[in-house]
Amino acid sequence: MSIISTTSQGIFYTALNYLKRKFNTKGEKFSEASPFYMLISALSSVAGQLFQYLHRAEAEKNIDTAEYKHSIFGLARLAGYEPFRGRSARGTIRLSSSQHIVIKPGTRVKVGGAMFFVDGRDNVLYISKNSNPVDIDIVQGVQKSYSFTSDGTKFQSFTPVCNMTDNELVEVRVNGELYNRKASIYDMGPDSHDYILRTSISHGLTVVFGDGRRGRQLASGETVTISVVETDGASGNGNAASAIEWVDSAYDIDGYAIDINENTSFILTVPPAGGVDYEDIESVRYSATRCSSQHVLATKDHFRSYLSLFSQYRIYDIISPDDMNSDSGTVFIKASMNMAKICEDDPMKVFTLHDNDYLIPTHMGTNELERILEDSGKLLIGTNTRVIEPIIRHYVINIGVRVKQGYNKIQIKTDVQKAVANFIVNNSRTDIIPCSDIVVAADSVEGVDTVTVSLVSEYNETAHIKKYYYKEWVEWSDTDTKFETKRIKCALAEDEELGINNGDIVIEPSELWVLQGGFKDRFNQYYANGLNDGLGCLNVLFI
């Protein structure tokens, strides 16, 4: 059985050869100038495009082969997966005033050039004259409202034309009455004042009302107001040094406007963090087939899928209560800040980082990642989360380099530092860092002839100086129903090496290795922090 070609060229030659055989003629009757040739050429071109369209249309029905965004998002929604629309960064400003002032929710303020507003979940803030400073929660983004008029149809839906919006900060009112958000139409009772929220294929959102049996059916002519927060996502994240400029005024007790910038003092106590962009196509394609219902975080896969949206964090492990045979209801997450994200603009920044840069910040007793999960509204009732911080181990890398003749040593040193920085930032291994990988990175620099690498561990050197060490690990406690850092004193064997095995860095499950000096080795040689004219965390020595 012959295979019929579906390309324009294949269809053309198949038809042409058929006519030649049918009429027992040679090619001269079907020259390029003949009517038959031109007719077959046109028809085959149309047929080829038709087959191509049918092939593409069939491929768009499968989420693994689909290419168009609207196909992938549509198939994900059919599977019960709602693509993530984005999240605004959150922060806190501490403010004090020399007079009585009132700050209303929604008051706008710029932090690092990005627009924020005072969290609307709080009531009006009354700040007394010369009182203790007040912490004000702020949210990145611009508050916008869209109005629609219903036509009385069942399951009527409305889609505001807006940019990236915060996934959770949505408010829906009908004729001024606040409606409640539900996860599914099956959660909506008869004539209940509820709605469901869907992610539209354009990263916007769609609000859907009921039919009377499942949620109230809107009457014709009713006014629907949808309020959202248009966010900058990840670009709204800032730092403690971000400049603050209040855009809107506060008010005194008589209602007169007061310039907050001139009449108060304020600092940024919690830098804006937690901002995330909308979910990209590949993430939707991956998550939709592994998390068909993402209304709650019920399994470890659900947690991994949701946390993958927050690229500023690196998730090492997720430990559920079932893993510990516990009924505590606490999900433990081993995580740290993502070094690749911190250094994505400049890998050389890795040489300037300190321990706190790797740890997820804690503000007012709450870990930043725990706060994000709590605010998501996706945790099961009775479930809470705890982030387990890694035990940080400091290492120094010494690289011996022989340079080929004719190459500048200063340039070679800089290039080797950049190559090693790129290797460290992009490394994803959590068990061992082979010395050979560092050799390969340094050896890739043009002009390098030979490379030798030696590693120095602060943990190991301190143990050799004191002749003992403290073995540390994280362990589950049945009594206290939590993970605890255990610590026991051990004598150091004469030939024992800690954190290094056969020249490679060995990372225990509870540890995080970082390139950082600030310690002496057993030979009283001091290694400074960062890159240093003497010996620092990375030393390029010429041999």
Look at the alpha carbons of 478, 367, 348, 537 in this order and tell me if their dihedral is positive or negative: negative
User: Is the pLDDT assigned to residue 93 strictly greater than 70?
Assistant: yes
Q: What is the signed CA dihedral for 263, 265, 270, 273, rounded to 10 degrees?
A: 40
- 130 with 255, same domain: the answer is yes
Average pLDDT (291-315) is 77
pLDDT value for 2: 47
pLDDT value for 4: 52
Number of domains composing the chain? 5
User: Is the pLDDT assigned to residue 485 strictly greater than 70?
Assistant: yes
- Alpha carbons 43 and 55: distance in angstroms, whole number: 18
In a domain? residue 285 = no
In percent, the amount of the chain with pLDDT more than 90 equals 45
- Alpha carbons 330 and 319: distance in angstroms, whole number: 9
Which neighbouring-strand residues pair with 514? 394
Mean pLDDT of the chain: 85
- 388, 423, 453 - which closes a domain: 388
pLDDT value for 402: 95
User: Is the pLDDT assigned to residue 190 strictly greater than 90?
Assistant: no
In a domain? residue 182 = yes
In percent, the amount of the chain with pLDDT more than 70 equals 89
Tokens of 502: 């056969």
- 171 with 49, same domain: the answer is no
Residue-number span of the structural domain to which 44 is assigned? 8-78
- 340 with 300, same domain: the answer is yes
Residues 125-151 pLDDT 10s: 888 888 888 999 999 999 999 999 999
Residues 397-424 pLDDT 10s: 999 999 999 999 999 999 999 999 999 9
- 388, 408, 427 - which closes a domain: 388
Using DSSP bridges, classify how beta strands 114-118 and 134-140 pair: parallel, antiparallel or unpaired. Answer: antiparallel
- 320 with 304, same domain: the answer is yes
Answer for the pair 172, 209: CB distance below 8 angstroms, yes or no. no
In a domain? residue 291 = no
pLDDT value for 23: 63
Greatest mean pLDDT among 33-37, 53-57, 529-533:
529-533
pLDDT value for 364: 65
Q: Quick one: DSSP state of residue 276?
A: B
pLDDT value for 110: 95
User: Is the pLDDT assigned to residue 294 strictly greater than 60?
Assistant: no
Residues 453-481 pLDDT 10s: 999 999 999 999 999 988 887 776 666 56
User: Is the pLDDT assigned to residue 363 strictly greater than 80?
Assistant: no
Q: Is 172 exposed, middle or buried (0-12, 13-18, 19+ CB in 10 A)?
A: buried
- 456 with 366, same domain: the answer is no
- 40 with 60, same domain: the answer is yes
In a domain? residue 396 = yes
- 388, 416, 438 - which closes a domain: 388
Strands of the sheet containing 504-506, edge to edge, are 432-433, 504-506, 500-501
pLDDT band, residue 31 (cuts 50/70/90): low
Residues 489-542 pLDDT 10s: 899 888 889 999 999 999 988 889 999 999 999 999 999 999 988 899 999 999
Look at the alpha carbons of 102, 104, 108, 110 in this order and tell me if their dihedral is positive or negative: positive
- 406 with 311, same domain: the answer is no
Higher-confidence position of 78 and 303: 303
Scanning the structure block, which residue is given the tokens 């290492």?
A: 395
Average pLDDT (238-265) is 89
Look at the alpha carbons of 513, 516, 519, 520 in this order and tell me if their dihedral is positive or negative: positive
In a domain? residue 85 = no
pLDDT value for 131: 82
pLDDT band, residue 3 (cuts 50/70/90): very low
- 420 with 512, same domain: the answer is yes
- 175 with 135, same domain: the answer is no
- 360 with 494, same domain: the answer is no
In a domain? residue 34 = yes
User: Is the pLDDT assigned to residue 1 strictly greater than 50?
Assistant: no
In a domain? residue 252 = yes
pLDDT value for 199: 86
Answer for the pair 81, 296: CB distance below 8 angstroms, yes or no. no
- Alpha carbons 160 and 101: distance in angstroms, whole number: 36
- 379 with 238, same domain: the answer is no
In a domain? residue 108 = yes
Which neighbouring-strand residues pair with 228? 144, 170
User: Is the pLDDT assigned to residue 227 strictly greater than 90?
Assistant: yes
Average pLDDT (79-106) is 89
- 72 with 20, same domain: the answer is yes
